[in-house]
Amino acid sequence: MEERIARFIAALRTSGARISLAESADAFRAVETLGVTDKSVFRLAMRATLIKEKRDLPTYDNLFPLFFGRTAPPLGANLLEALSPEEMEQVSRWLEDLEEHLRQRLEELLSGEALTDAELDSLGNRLGLSRVDSLQYLDWLTRRIERAVGLDEVRQLLEQLLEVLSGTTPAERAASLEAALTRNLEAWQQQIRQFVGQGIAENLSELPRQQSEKNLLDLPFSALSEQEMNSVRDEARRLATMLKSKIALRQKKDHRGLLDPKSTIRSNLRNYAIPIEIKRRKRVRKPKVVIMCDVSTSMRYCSELMLTMLFYLSDLVSKTHAFAFIDHLEYVSPHFDGKTAGEAVLGVLQKMPPGYYSTDLGASLKDLDRRFLDTIDSRTSFIVVGDARNNFNDPQMAIFQKLARRAHRTIWINPESQAQWGTGDSDMWKYQSICSDVLQARNLRELSNAIDLLLA
């Protein structure tokens, strides 16, 4: 228990609470005197000795249950035992038609089994839980793990299962089964949230990790803490300066332009069309860019760095029309006029703060088509920065295809790996079939490489 309390105090300090060594000693003495049997007394004693400013109370209240709350996973009801033989036969026939992984997931839910620690640990490692050290990402990361577990698909299948049972099951019995299934599903959601919260709490209790420059470039956006993000912002500015010089030098070396067959033939008619004198056509070196950036919580860091680097590279682009979206589209290019990169991007992010509303790329594409269609023409590189997760809204494929046909090329930058495309509410495979290129940008190094390719 002493080690647990010490880690709790370390987490409070990492979260910004000012706690001296004397106050820490007072907390240990209070616990020694009052004990930990009565949880409410233990909680109040710790708060009285550690917290001295009102602004730190929410932090304390959020962290305490993560360190000293329930650790056993919530258990659901075993509905397989409660089903009648007729209902069990119906359920078994219906389950046979499902894919194996979905059938197994539903059987676990029906039997009231908790998610295994091994599965949650694997998902947490894959989605970057070990690097998240702020509780503001608790809801976001919980939702990502829910998607990876397949809760969205399970929820839809439960509705289908209840429809199957409703034909032969009395209404009162069907309502009872629906309530029990909902409780089992909520138990999984509670277990995932508890797992994520305790993981973040453990991260907060560790000493800040010093990252080398190489690691900063390779840290996944989904795993960046706010402290690491500050360092990555500085690194992005340095990379943009280097990239600007590299691209400008490449353009200078390309001054000769492309071979112009028509001009070459006309010029050499006096030579009996023998191409003695070669004519070249100067290429358009400065592309025109229309970019849409998803600034929802899961994409915020990636889009922020993309906009920052484009700001520094604006001299290499003839015209940039920048848009940001979550559930609607905002034209943000005016925020870049007469400002520094930091001020400009901050203004964009403040205009569209993160929240609990759902991403709707389809609605944003409709806005672009209706209000800003003239920004896209045959010289335009149309760029979308997002994970293509539409929260099951209409992806508006016809509009996206229309925009892609108008543009010179359509590029999608996605921080998710291909293994995650098409899972849950992802429409990436649909959009990918229309794009000229799809580039992965899980970290700053890959984002820099993607921008280099865009301006090649």
pLDDT at site 266:
77
In a domain, 436, yes or no: yes
Residue with tokens 């959601």: 189
In a domain, 445, yes or no: yes
Shared domain check, 434 and 411: yes
State the number of CA atoms in the 13 A half-sphere of 163 facing the CB. Answer: 6
Shared domain check, 356 and 381: yes
Provide the whole-model pTM. Answer: 0.51
Alpha-carbon distance 386 to 298, whole Å? 9
Read off the DSSP letter of residue 208.
P
Shared domain check, 392 and 247: yes
pLDDT in tens, 26-50: 888 888 888 888 888 888 988 888 8
Alpha-carbon distance 99 to 90, whole Å? 17
pLDDT at site 456:
63
Shared domain check, 373 and 229: yes
Alpha-carbon distance 252 to 230, whole Å? 34
Tokens of 281: 């056509």
Smallest Cα–Cα separation from 154: which of 101, 82, 211, 226? Answer: 101
In a domain, 216, yes or no: no
Shared domain check, 146 and 64: no
pLDDT at site 272:
65
pLDDT at site 275:
64
Alpha-carbon distance 437 to 419, whole Å? 17
148: containing domain? 79-205
Which of these three, 68, 91, 110, is where a domain ends?
68
pLDDT at site 38:
85
3-state DSSP: the chain helix, strand, coil percent, rounded to 5?
Answer: 60, 10, 30
CA angle 40–46–52, rounded 5-degree value: 125
Shared domain check, 125 and 40: no
Shared domain check, 294 and 279: no
Please tell me whether residue 351 adopts helix, strand or coil conformation: helix
pLDDT at site 107:
80
Residues forming a β-bridge with 325 = 294, 329
Smallest Cα–Cα separation from 312: which of 247, 388, 379? Answer: 247
Alpha-carbon distance 110 to 184, whole Å? 8
pLDDT at site 385:
92
Smallest Cα–Cα separation from 6: which of 206, 196, 200? Answer: 206
Alpha-carbon distance 321 to 403, whole Å? 14
Write out residues in the chain with pLDDT < 50, as ranges. 207-214
For residue 432, the domain's CATH number is 3.40.50.410
In a domain, 170, yes or no: yes
Read off the DSSP letter of residue 131.
G
Alpha-carbon distance 404 to 380, whole Å? 10
pLDDT at site 208:
42
pLDDT in tens, 363-387: 999 999 999 999 999 889 899 999 9
Shared domain check, 91 and 236: no
Shared domain check, 247 and 148: no
In a domain, 74, yes or no: no
Please tell me whether residue 3 adopts helix, strand or coil conformation: helix
In a domain, 98, yes or no: yes
Count of structural domains within the chain = 4
pLDDT at site 35:
83
Residue with tokens 């070990």: 130
Tokens of 321: 């029309």
Shared domain check, 100 and 244: no
